[in-house]
Amino acid sequence: MYDILIVGAGIVGCFLAHDLSKKELKVAVFDREADVANKATMANSAIIHSGHDPLDNTLKAKLNVRGNEMYESICKDLGVSFKRTSAFVAATSMEEEDTLDMLYQQTKNRNIPVMYLTKEEAIKKEPNLSDHVTKVIELPTTGIVYPWEVAIALAEEASENNVDFYLNEQVEKIKKTQKGFEVITSKGNYEAKIIINAAGVCSDKIYGKVSSKVDFEITPRKGEYFVLDKLKKPLVSRVIYPVPSSAGKGVLVVPTTHGNVLLGPNSEMVDSGELNNNTKDSLDYVKKEIHKTVKNIPMDKVIHSFAGVRPTSTRHDFIIEEAKDVTDFINVAGIESPGLASAPAISEYVINEILSKKIRMNEKNMYTKRRPNIKLKEMTEEEKNELVKKNPAFGKIVCRCEQITEGEIIDAIRRPLGATTVKGIKKRVRPGMGRCQGGFCEPLVVDILARERKISPLEVRLDGDNSVMLMEETKE
Amino acid sequence: MKEYEIVIIGGGSAGLASAIEAYKNGCKSILILERDKELGGILLQCIHNGFGLHMFSEELSGPAYAERYIEQLKELGIEYKVNSMVIHLSKDKIIQYVNPTEGYVSVKAKAVILAMGCRERTRGAIAIPGYRPSGIWTAGTAQRYLNMEGYLVGKRVFILGSGDIGLIMARRMTLEGAKVCGVAELMPYSNGLPRNIKQCLEDFDIPLYLSHTITNIKGKDRINSLVIAQVDDKLCPIKGTEKEFEVDTLLLSVGLIPENGLSEEADILLHEKTKGAIVNESYETSVEGIFACGNVLHVHDLVDYVSSEGMKAGRAAAKYMKGELTQKEGFQTEGKDGIGYVLPHKVNVDNVEDKIECMFRVTGIYKKAVIRVYKDGNLFKTIKKQHMAPAEMEKLILKKEEIEDIKSVLSIEAGYE
Amino acid sequence: MTKKEMACIVCPMSCHLEVTLDDNNNMIEVIGNTCKRGEVYAKSELKNPVRMLTSTVKLEGGLYKRLPVITSVNIPKDKLFDVMKEINKIEVCAPIKVGDIIISDVCGLHADIVASRSVERTDGDNRTESNTCNSK
């Protein structure tokens, strides 16, 4: 019997699992995906927004501001990257300037640092700001993270502290019982006292498994992006937002923690959370809109495009509450933007405002910190050579674009909750994330994964169970 | 820090030829750094025949061609390191590499030859719409799997792009038991050699869809189908022309990009069209003493030309070592109408021995056409050409005395009489 | 009399041949070839097309699991798949020398299947090992 069973191993599920692993509780996390952080957490703008733009009196506004305050120390603690880059909101017309003024006032009222810049000041800071830009506000508390790195680190530490992760396992039925719940998955039966529904685009369906009075609906919204190669001279050093409109935050230019740039997203309602495909129309839209705020964008340096689906809800705010009709079933749903930025605050809110009133939460005496990833790139030459002497695999570069060694890849597989798929390795240590997109290193990664897991290369998967890589051996 | 006269980055066809030629021209302190397990580069996976006709008057497979150079290199006793990835290059010619036995090592070179080759353009670079399942490979990766590791990446295959690697893989996969459903090419002409269209597609009744592109990729785990559509003259898909193919694999053969990450780090100026370094008649880049040759400089269609370019760069690097290269601006070359680029980009006549080979590519198909050569804007020569295509590199050989009087620019133009 | 265009496949030059045929499909003239072999090719392609075949055979004890092989001479185009069947049955062990005959007179076609590279014997897993060699 689990005390708490979390459905969904996205950024929210991972924060909850991590934070609850510090308590004397039996906690489990279920996800139908092959890895944690595999859906919306894998495909978003990667920004820790300041909290400037959600509407007043929403959970979004409250938890975004709080989340932004929390992130830096959490990331430091986990040994993952966080960079407070600051951000511009750039207006390009009189009309937009009016909205910008309103935004400035709203931000000021929330006690979030914000300042007006003249066009000259703005261009001095961001030389590639478009000539169309007429007025700018700067939001210095804005930051960036590597979203799945954060989620994976949280999950690893949770796993080290006895949270059970069930991946590749779909929740099929949930029955309310006298003691709590019985959960039937694609692989087994489990019992839990409390269920937290953090199932992202599926959260209405998961709620529907235990209730006939589901009081929200997820209306998935897709956003598509381009990724630019690392440039010799950075295109931007801050997040550049256009002035938001009814359609959302607009098409952004975002520096990433690894020196790439994200361009996007558009925003399109789709029928299902599964529809994370790229379409030509959307990519063309991003390509057109992106020049509104930033110039000199080298589109020939695009190395990748992707799409993410956000779980927008019909209530247009985060839904964080116990289900009205099912005791001990807690919905954490509709976590669209600024979900990533709010995630630590969401977890804190769920624990303090809801769980603490339901279950005793004693702090564990023993808590194991996660061992940070070995990042050769951040070491001195002496440190690296020390490592190579101990283990020659750290002298074997597998990914030339990102300069990732075999040793780092093996570490990513052997860690707690380690990578089991090619995508899992890519998410943890980045081979294949560079300009050749795995053309050179993917066969090497397949080879290492097969060797480490003692399986045939034919059994290695890109991601889910059906995503085989190689079809057959010749001459057999 | 250990010092060498010449450090060559890359032990493929360009690197091998340049090392041998530099050695023969008097440089004995040479180091080749190769990232793979053995020397030979991409030739090792190109097991088809057709290599060596110019260099050896024989038709060899890729591995056999590479072996000729590797044997020669070993006989000369030229030093090389495999499993050694160069991770930094500075403009003062300090090279940092890493391998499992030595760890991270820095060496200093008096001259550097860049011979890193190229990489394949990816799906990401051309933004093909659709899902991102497994089963989508660049043709070269699939080739390595098939020819070296013995794995078929798929059984029902579609190929985007009519580059030579894609065409050759269409034949190879067919012979090994896969069904190749078709090849789509965005342009109205093929990007591969005509002989490969003939013996890799036509021989096996594999359809080639010119002026077509992929508009959708379906399948969330493994690709299960894809849609192609005809494109208009602006290369935009035409609604209503879609065709769907049930496949488990998509191979991409959509171009090669010179691998110039290290060159950029060393502040070497790159050419907008070739994506390789800007070089002079001695294959010297904008940084004195750093030379470039082979596919890292511009993408070739024949390995024999890569070797011969490697030899020229190797010879020039040896001359540089001996102080026999003069540094002078010289004149520029330029491609006018119908010409994509001309290489070398600059010529200092003092360093030209007896003739200079200008290499260029046309931007479209030309039949019964002419090449016009201008010296400082004045028509100097008209050369008849039966057939020219962007897939085939053209050569123009000019004698030293023909170019001595050029003051500022040598231009080449493609057209009709 | 008819004219036919064909791409010469003898070498990567890929000469564009224009062949003139008489009414019995016999070649009268070929233009566009830059060497003698183009003419020979055109003639053969019309009557009895032949191809070189390259493939791999299973390999034990080498750095990789496959050895590239090539036919010693051209073989009839319609025999390619028959020869593939024979090639697929073979397994060889390193060391191998380039030119070693792997199958002689394959399918009675007066062509051998020969190794198209040399392979040294490498015992055990060589994949993470580094070889720093001064080859002299």
Cis preceding linkage at B344, omega within 30? yes
Assess whether A124 and A199 both reside in one domain.
no
Candidates B61, B71, B302: best to mutate against C (most CBs of C within 10 A) is: B61
Q: What is the mean pLDDT of residues A151-163?
A: 98
- Residue A162, domain member (yes or no): yes
Contact present, A457 and A473 (Cβ < 8 Å): no
Range A126-147 average pLDDT: 97
Q: Are residues A126 and A225 in the same domain?
A: yes
Q: Is the pLDDT of residue A239 over 60?
A: yes
Task: Return all residues near C125 (Cβ < 8 A) that are at least 6 apart.
Answer: none
Asked if the model's pLDDT at residue A412 lies above 60, the reply is: yes
Q: Are residues B247 and B141 in the same domain?
A: yes
Instruction: Check whether residue C83 and residue C110 sit in a common domain.
Output: yes
Percent of chain B at pLDDT above 70?
Answer: 100
What would the pLDDT profile of A166-179 be if each residue is shown by its tens digit? 999 999 999 999 99
Nearest to A396 among C57, C58, C128 (CB): C128
Tell whether C77 is covered by a domain: yes
Burial level of C97, CB count in 10 A (0-12/13-18/19+)? exposed
* ipTM reported for the complex surpasses 0.95: no
A475 near C CB under 8 A: yes
Contacts with B232 from chain A: Cβ below 8 Å: none
Is the CB of A464 less than 8 angstroms away from the CB of B237?
Answer: no
pLDDT digits (tens, 9 = 90+) for A377-393: 889 999 999 999 999 99
SS3 at position C44? helix
**Cβ atoms C94, C62 nearer than 8 A:** yes
C105 and C60 share one domain = yes
Average pLDDT over residues B314-343: 95
Same domain? For A297 and A348 the reply is no
Asked if the C-beta of B220 comes within 8 angstroms of chain A's C-beta atoms, the answer is yes
Do A130 and A111 reside in the same domain of the chain?
yes
- Mean per-residue pLDDT, C8-30: 85
Assess if residue A269 is contained within a domain.
Answer: yes
- Does residue C135 carry a pLDDT above 90? no
Residue type (1 letter), A285: Y
Q: Taking CB atoms and an 8 Å cutoff, what residues of chain A touch B36?
A: none
Min Cα–Cα distance to chain B from C18, Å: 11
Domain boundary among A357, A387, A413: A357
Q: Are residues C12 and C27 in the same domain?
A: yes
On whether residue A318 sits in a domain, the answer given is: yes
- Pairs across B and C, CB distance < 8 A: 127
In a domain, C9, yes or no: yes
Structure confidence by residue, pLDDT tens digits, A284-293: 999 999 999 9
Residue where a domain stops, chosen among B254, B287, B314: B254
Same domain, C66 and C83: yes
Residue A268 shares a structural domain with residue A166:
no
Q: Assess whether pLDDT exceeds 90 at residue C94.
A: yes
Instruction: Judge whether residue C133 has pLDDT over 80.
Output: no
Do B261 and B113 share a structural domain?
yes
Q: Does B84 touch chain C (CB under 8 A)?
A: yes
Is there a single domain that holds both residue A304 and residue A323? no
C-chain CB neighbours of A392 within 8 Å are 128, 130
What pLDDT does residue C136 have?
A: 30
Contacts of A274 in chain B (CB under 8 A): 220
C7/B197 CB distance under 8 A: yes
C43 in the same domain as C83: no
Number of structural domains found in chain B: 3
Nearest alpha-carbon partner for B150 in C96, A468, A432, C91? C91
C66 CB neighbours in chain A (<8 A) are 474-475
Chains with at least 3 CB pairs less than 8 angstroms from chain A: B, C
CATH code for the domain in which residue A203 is found: 3.50.50.60
Q: Is residue C71 part of a domain?
A: yes
Q: Give the whole-angstrom CA distance, residue B10 versus residue B41.
A: 8
Q: Which domain holds residue A449?
A: 376-459
Same domain, C63 and C41: no
Give the per-residue pLDDT at A202: 97
Assign residue B339 the CATH number of its domain: 2.60.40
Same domain assignment for residues B247 and B263: no
DSSP string, A274-297: T---B-HHHHHHHHHHGGGTB---
pLDDT of residue C132: 38
Instruction: Tell whether A325 and A384 lie within a shared domain.
Output: no
Domain presence at residue C7: yes
**Statement to judge: residues C7 and C43 lie in one domain:** yes
Please tell me whether residues C82 and C99 are part of one structural domain: yes
pLDDT in tens, A316-349: 999 999 999 999 999 999 999 999 999 999 999 9
Chain C residue closest to A447 (CA)?
C127
Whether residues B198 and C9 touch (CB distance < 8 A) is answered with yes
Q: What's the pLDDT at C124?
A: 52
Residues B16 and B99 reside in one and the same domain: yes
Residues B113 and B50 in one domain: yes
A229 φ/ψ angles, rounded to the nearest 5 degrees: -60, 160
A319 in a domain, yes or no? yes
Kindly tell me if the per-residue pLDDT of B73 is higher than 90. yes
Q: How far is B105 from chain A (nearest CA, A)?
A: 9
Chain B residues in contact with C77 by the CB 8 A cut-off are 203
Read off the pLDDT of each residue in A4-29 and give the average, rounded to a whole number. 98
Assess if residue C39 is contained within a domain.
Answer: yes
Interface residues of chain C, partner chain A, Cβ below 8 Å: 56-58, 66, 88, 91, 127-128, 130
C109 and C60 in a common domain? yes
Domain coverage including residue B214: 122-254
CA C112 to chain centre: 10
Q: Count up the domains in chain C and report the number.
A: 2
Residue B272 sits in the same domain as residue B241: no
Residue pair A409/A431 in contact (Cβ under 8 Å)? The answer is yes
Q: Nearest CA to CA, how far is C22 from chain B (Å)?
A: 23
More confident residue, B328 or C54: C54
CB B344 within 8 A of CB B280: yes
Residues B133 and B107 grouped into a single domain: no
Examine residue A78 and state whether it is found in any structural domain, yes or no: no
How many angstroms away from the CA of C11 is the closest CA of chain A?
A: 28
- Tell me the C-alpha distance between A381 and B104, whole Å: 7
Helix ranges restricted to H, A190-331: 203-208, 280-289
The verdict on A224 and A213 lying in the same domain is no
- Comparing CB atoms, the residue among B101, B103, B152 nearest residue A474 is B152
Test A474 with C88 for CB contact under 8 angstroms: yes
Whether B46 has its CB under 8 Å from any CB of chain C: the answer is no
Query: B122 and A439: CB-CB below 8 Å?
Result: yes
Q: What pLDDT score does C123 carry?
A: 67
Domain presence at residue A249: yes
What is the CA B228 to chain-centroid distance, rounded?
Answer: 28
Residue C75 has pLDDT above 50, yes or no: yes
Q: Are residues B131 and B246 in the same domain?
A: yes
Whether B133 and B31 share a structural domain: no
Q: Can you give the CATH number for the domain in which A268 is found? A: 3.30.9.10
Catalytic residue among A18, A49, A52, A291: A49
Q: Which residues contact A455 (CB under 8 A, 6 or more apart)?
A: A449
Number of domains chain A contains: 3
- B142–chain C Cβ distance below 8 A for any pair: no
Question: Is residue A306 a part of any domain in this protein?
Answer: yes
| Percent of chain A at pLDDT exceeding 90 | 94
Q: Cβ contacts (< 8 Å) between A397 and chain B: which residues?
A: 35, 85, 87, 98
CATH number reported for the structural domain that contains residue C20 in this entry: 2.20.25
User: Which of B170-184, B261-275, C8-22, C68-82 has the least mean pLDDT?
Assistant: C8-22
Who contacts A216 (Cβ-Cβ below 8 Å, separation ≥6)?
A: A204, A207, A313, A314, A315, A319, A331, A333, A334
Q: A275 versus B62: which is more confidently predicted?
A: B62
Task: Tell me: pLDDT of B320 over 70.
Answer: yes
A434 and A382 in a common domain? yes
Q: Does A81 touch chain B (CB under 8 A)?
A: no
CA distances from B382 to B391, B412, C96 (A): 22, 10, 52
Statement: residue B312 has pLDDT above 50: yes
pLDDT, tens digit, 9 for 90 and up, residues B148-192 = 999 999 999 999 999 999 999 999 999 999 999 999 999 999 888
Q: For chain A, positions 287-306, list CB contacts with chain B under 8 A.
A: 302-306
Do A283 and A317 form a contact (C-beta atoms < 8 A)? no
Q: Give the domain CATH number at C67.
A: 3.10.530.10
Q: Is A26 helix (H, G, I), strand (E, B) or coil?
A: coil
Which residues have C-beta within 8 Å of that of residue C92, sequence separation ≥ 6?
Answer: C57, C58, C59, C60, C67, C102, C115
Residue A367 placed within a domain: no
Q: Within this chain, do residues A231 and A272 fall inside the same structural domain, yes or no?
A: yes
Closest partner CB to B387 (pick from C16, C54, C77): C16
**Residues of C at the B interface, defined by Cβ within 8 angstroms:** 6-14, 16, 32, 51-56, 58, 63-66, 68, 70, 77, 80-81, 84, 98, 116-118, 126-136
Buried/exposed B342-365: b ≥16 CB within 10 Å, e otherwise: bbbbbbbbebbeeebebbbbbeee
Q: Does B153 touch chain A (CB under 8 A)?
A: yes
Question: Residue B90 maps to which CATH number?
Answer: 3.50.50.60
Is residue C124 one of the residues assigned to a domain? no
- Under the banding of pLDDT at 50, 70 and 90, the label for residue C130 is very low
Question: Do C97 and C58 fall into the same domain?
Answer: yes
Of B198, B220, B254, which residue constitutes the final position of a domain?
B254
Best of C6, C9, C69, C86 to mutate (most B CBs within 10 Å, chain B): C9
- Nearest 5°: the CA angle B177, A464, B252 is 45
**What confidence tier does B339 reach under pLDDT thresholds 50, 70, 90?**
very high
B120 to chain A: which residues are within 8 Å by CB? 436, 439
- Asked if residue B200 and residue B211 are part of one domain, the reply reads yes
CB C102 within 8 A of CB C84: no
**By the CB < 8 Å criterion, does B34 face chain A?**
no
**pLDDT score of C131 more than 60:** no
Judged by CB atoms closer than 8 Å, whether chains meet at B100 and A395 is answered as yes
Element (H, E) at B105: strand B103-114
Which residues have C-beta within 8 Å of that of residue A440, sequence separation ≥ 6? A399, A400, A401, B119, B141
Q: Across the interface, do C66 and A474 touch by the CB < 8 Å criterion?
A: yes
Residues A204 and A228 in one domain: no
Q: Of A116, A57, A92, which is closest to residue A318 (Cα–Cα)?
A: A57
Q: How far is B86 from chain A (nearest CA, A)?
A: 9
Known active-site residue A316: no
Is residue C17 domain-shared with residue C59, that is, in the same domain? Answer: no
Nearest to B297 by CA among B289, B306, B288: B306
Token representation of residue C17: 């041949």
pLDDT of residue C128: 38
Same domain, B217 and B68: no
Q: Is B103 on the interface with C (CB under 8 A)?
A: no
A268 has a chain B CB within 8 A of its CB: no
Model confidence over A391-406: pLDDT tens digits? 999 999 999 889 999 9
Percent of chain A whose predicted confidence (pLDDT) is above 70: 100
Specify whether B96 is located in the same domain as B109.
yes
Same domain, residue pair A163 and A188: yes
On whether any CB of chain C is under 8 Å from the CB of B81, the answer is yes
Range of the domain at C28: 2-47
Q: Do C42 and C67 have their domain in common?
A: no
